[in-house]
Amino acid sequence: MSSLQRSAMSARIAKLPQLPPDIERTIAPTVAPFAQDDDDENETDDLGDLPRSMGPPTKIKGREQHKDGQYSPLSAAGYFEQAVEVEVASTGLATRVYYTPSTLSGSNGTVMICHHGAGFSGLSFACFAKEVRTLSNGECGVLALDAREHGKTANLKPSSDFNLSIETLSDDLVELIKVIFPLPSEAPGLLLVGHSMGGSVIVRASTPLLSAKYKMVGVAVLDVVEGFTLEALPHMHNLLDSRPEGFDSPEDAIQWHVTTNTIRNLESARISVPPIISPSMTKGWKWRTPLRLTAPYWTNWFTGLSSAFLASRTARLLVLAGTDRLDKELMIGQMQGKFQMVVVPHVGHIVHEDDPVRLAEILIEFWKRNDRVLKGIKKVGEL
């Protein structure tokens, strides 16, 4: 990269709106906005302000395009304001973050911190983030991240160690938040949102964040229950066996996710699927995260989730895709009024992609109610 390119990139980074004061130094200085990754020859790397178009789909190995462009990839522009790479020295990660800040300054605002499930990426929350911004009139921000070994997050010191334990993942999230919002007293309120594996991560991360004096608006767990999930784990290998080993193109990957009802929202799939695949020398495009290698951690992710959720010292919300998924511990907790539960109809496991509008409505209502409690209700006559 030339010195002129570096200067232009630095100027562009400096214009990113409403980033916390110390985040500029955490953005990787060697990646220019819209530069291509070395391993993704047909994939745009949207660092900085997000581009407005991904352009037409690219031909892969001479294969004909999907003629109407129905399954072509979509840029995250218009869904998030920024895409940045945050270096976290304590975890050894350069974490990819997608961010739309609150229009309210400092501690007056609230940001939903969204953690995806195994095999997905932060862009699975793209459509949801757009709806949150609209429904909250910009007052509630959204920050979604790619976990380690997922999406565009990279190890600063690559090694053969593949560690996706719940302890490591929750520590990654806590340390990332401390880098992005280094002063708890000036940080916005945090509403942690996690899907599946990410639900376990945000529940575990809430305790150290509270201990560090961050203002916690609540935790929202999306379609994961300890008992139900642990019972289903023995079937996971059969589920992975049913997946293709790879795809001829990103369009084919998007089409597979939609036609199999893995993702029931075509718009979301066009944004969220490209980051979870990468070019392969043997099979066009392969899965970016090798889910079979995560098998040793499946039980670790979910064991103790129900008790940890009920013990979390903040407002608690459980969003499910079906009413038959509660385990005994959560049934008792629900009867005791320890958490709010909402069932979203006509969706699959990936609730936030299948119906981002309804989920945004649920989370905005949850945010408004609990943020008001945190800030205190003013007495009659107070300005």
Q: Catalytic positions, please?
A: 196, 223, 349
**In the block, which residue shows the tokens 């979301």?**
268
Q: What are phi and psi of 20, to 5 degrees?
A: -55, 155
Within the chain, how many helices (H) and strands (E) appear? 13, 13
**In the block, which residue shows the tokens 């609150």?**
102
Burial class (CB in 10 A: 0-12, 13-18, 19+), 378: exposed
Residue 258: its H or E element: helix 250-259
User: Residue 276's closest CA among 170, 123, 156, 125?
Assistant: 123
Q: What are phi and psi of 322, to 5 degrees?
A: -160, 150
Distance CA 57, CA 273 (A): 14
Distance CA 209, CA 189 (A): 11
User: Residue 131's closest CA among 190, 47, 65, 193?
Assistant: 193
Interhelix angle for 356-375 vs 126-135, to 10°? 50
DSSP 334-374: HHTT-SEEEE-SS--S-HHHH-HHHHHHHHHHHHHHHHHHH
Structure tokens at 19: 């980033």
Burial 98-135 (b: 16+ CB within 10 A, else e): bbbbbbbeebebbbbbbbbbbbbbbbbbbbbbbbbbeb
Distance CA 30, CA 85 (A): 10
User: Residue 350's closest CA among 283, 290, 261?
Assistant: 261
Q: How far apart are the first and last CA of the chain?
A: 54
Burial class (CB in 10 A: 0-12, 13-18, 19+), 346: exposed
Q: Which amino acid is at 20?
A: P
